[in-house]
Amino acid sequence: MIMKKSILFLYLGSSLTALSANDVYQTPNTGTVYSFADLAKIEDSGVTQLDDNTFSLSKDIDILDQDGLVLDNNATLRMGADILVRMYGGNNNFAPADTATIMPTEEGIKPKGIHFLDTSVPQTVKHVRFEGAGLRLGAPAGVTVESCSFIEHNTRIGNYAIGFVASSINNAVRNCYFYRTHLSAIGAGSNLAAGVVIEDNVFEDCSTDNRNYPVINETPAADNGAIIIRRNTIYGGKRTLPGAISVSNMLSMIGNHRIEIEDNYMDNSRYGINILGNYMNVKIKGNEIINCHYETNAMNGGSGITVNSTSDSNPTSVYVEGNTIDGCLWGATIIGKTRANFGNNADASSSDYNPGGNVFANNGNCGKAPAGAENAWDPAIPYDLYNNTALTIYAQGNTWGGADQSAEEIEKRIYHKADNSALGEVVYLPAGGVAGITEIETPDFSISVSGAGRFSVNGVDATTPVVVYDLSGIRLFNGTAGQEITTSHRGAAIVTVVGKSVRILL
């Protein structure tokens, strides 16, 4: 039996959101599946039918575990202040064929929304428009939220428009639209392991309260599944505090936490991707991170990618490939004990092989915003990669934000052992480039790649010595330029002519 409790909150110098003191209607737990039209026929249910498919709710509703609830197609629920519908069982259908709307009874009213909890059967929420109201997911068997919209979530149900409030498996949020949520759009408690796939969603101007609540704010889930965030579009609101994506193991929950953040677009946020804590294995691949430069003090943030791990024995490792980071205060910052791989292309058969392919442009800052400036962004003081660890970071095969890809230009944009002997080195050569040929030093020759391991060196005398190496340093060819050069090697190689080198792709 679920009992209604009144809880008295003491306000100790801070403003807390009290639980509502609404009356509660509980279903009798007899195995009945109700529609809102059915509930409207029950005296004292708190449900009133306003027209054919519109209902007002003036009481909280508890659907007990043997009962169920159906949200009919084209239904509109008008919920009163702090009204909450809780579903304890699995006999529910919140997936109308076309649409349904959950909204306040009138302008200025702030309902809570819908809460799934204690269900052993996977649940689906589909084609529902939430206006102000939110969705709490506490179902251990998981909930799929698909093709829904969340408009101006009001935080009465919690800080997240979709909030995970219990450990669970097999959750998914896909093809949804989030607009001007007051705080985060999606998130989980720091002590919960709720595996989830967040994919193909659009987030527009979320976290409007301008607090430190990123648009997506997740916690790793260990054996309850990976945190997968992919193919989402996040349009930031140019605010000074909210970031785009954060995954934090704040309580150092033990486990093999797998995080995948791939093929997302994010712009105009305080930061792009933030990874904080230990025990995590993270892949960050194919993301576009644009204009994360609205922080006024660069010491407080503003990175395209930040990874911070403090454990010697269980550090977080991060694999970073094929991302574009453009217009941020810092391109990427790696902190503490983090093991980072931004590109290690020496051996394609190696377990730590990474072709790199990250592109950095227009990243930099002046520390604190000068008088009259809105932020600290200053690409004239460039920072593409800041290695704030004592460990070596491989960052080969990337394109850096300088005038060219020479060592001299790249060094201007990387902060590492060469700048502070207490820090680890960044190994950045060979750098990346365009069309399969990357200049390591400005050459006096050109190369024509004809395929199948064949190429020729042009612009030098036929007797000029040419040496070719693979990226592990094994010599593939030693001869002269007066012939077409053929090797059995496939992949990247270094061609050295008269002491100058280029990287080619065979």
> How much is the pLDDT for 1?
28
More confident residue, 289 or 494: 289
Same domain, 384 and 465: no
Show which of 384, 401, 427 is a domain's final residue.
Answer: 427
pLDDT at 175 over 90: yes
Asked whether residue 433 is domain-assigned, the answer is: no
pLDDT at 440 over 60: no
Percentage of the chain with pLDDT > 90?
A: 77
> How much is the pLDDT for 7?
28
The predicted model gives 360-377 an average pLDDT of 94
Same domain, 309 and 456: no
Residue 179 contacts residue 151 (beta carbons within 8 Å):
yes
- How many domains are contained in the chain? 2
Residues, the chain, total?
Answer: 506
The predicted model gives 177-194 an average pLDDT of 96
Asked whether residue 34 is domain-assigned, the answer is: yes
> How much is the pLDDT for 6?
28
* Measured distance CA(144)–CA(365) in Å, rounded: 41
Same domain, 342 and 472: no
Residue 441 contacts residue 453 (beta carbons within 8 Å):
no
Show which of 407, 427, 447 is a domain's final residue.
Answer: 427
pLDDT at 17 over 60: no
* Measured distance CA(425)–CA(120) in Å, rounded: 51
Q: CATH number of the domain at 176, please.
A: 2.160.20
Quote the domain boundaries for residue 473.
Answer: 439-505
pLDDT at 12 over 50: no
Asked whether residue 3 is domain-assigned, the answer is: no
> Which band of pLDDT confidence, cut at 50, 70 and 90, is reported for residue 3?
very low
Same domain, 369 and 471: no
* Measured distance CA(491)–CA(499) in Å, rounded: 22
The predicted model gives 72-100 an average pLDDT of 97
DSSP-assigned letters across all residues of 172-231: EEES-EEES-SSEEEEE-TT--EEEEEES-EEES--TT-SS--SEEE---GGG--EEEES
> Which band of pLDDT confidence, cut at 50, 70 and 90, is reported for residue 13?
very low
Same domain, 353 and 242: yes
> Cβ atoms within 10 A of the Cβ of 32, count?
15
Same domain, 174 and 40: yes
Tokens of 330: 């810092």
Show which of 397, 427, 457 is a domain's final residue.
Answer: 427
Asked whether residue 282 is domain-assigned, the answer is: yes
Q: What pLDDT digit, counting tens, does each position of 43-66 carry?
A: 999 999 999 999 999 999 999 999
> Which band of pLDDT confidence, cut at 50, 70 and 90, is reported for residue 439?
very low
> How much is the pLDDT for 505?
73
Asked whether residue 286 is domain-assigned, the answer is: yes
Q: What pLDDT digit, counting tens, does each position of 272-300 carry?
A: 999 999 999 999 999 999 999 999 999 99
> How much is the pLDDT for 363?
98
> How much is the pLDDT for 442?
54
Same domain, 408 and 448: no
> How much is the pLDDT for 488?
79
pLDDT at 135 over 60: yes
Same domain, 419 and 453: no
> How much is the pLDDT for 308?
98
Q: What is the reported pTM?
A: 0.82
Same domain, 259 and 343: yes
Same domain, 276 and 228: yes
Asked whether residue 434 is domain-assigned, the answer is: no
Counting DSSP H helices and E strands in the chain, the numbers are 2, 50
> How much is the pLDDT for 383?
98
Q: CATH number of the domain at 448, please.
A: 2.60.40.1270
The predicted model gives 216-234 an average pLDDT of 96
The predicted model gives 19-32 an average pLDDT of 86
User: What is residue 298's three-state secondary structure?
Assistant: helix
The predicted model gives 113-126 an average pLDDT of 93
Same domain, 349 and 476: no
Same domain, 238 and 288: yes
* Measured distance CA(115)–CA(130) in Å, rounded: 13
Asked whether residue 6 is domain-assigned, the answer is: no
> How much is the pLDDT for 211?
97
* Measured distance CA(32)–CA(76) in Å, rounded: 22
Radius of gyration of the chain (CA): 28
Asked whether residue 14 is domain-assigned, the answer is: no
End-to-end, the C-alpha distance of the chain in Å comes to: 70
The phi, psi pair for 428, rounded to 5°, reads -115, -5
Residues 6+ apart with CB under 8 A from 371: none
When the pLDDT of each residue in the chain is averaged and rounded to a whole number, the result is 90
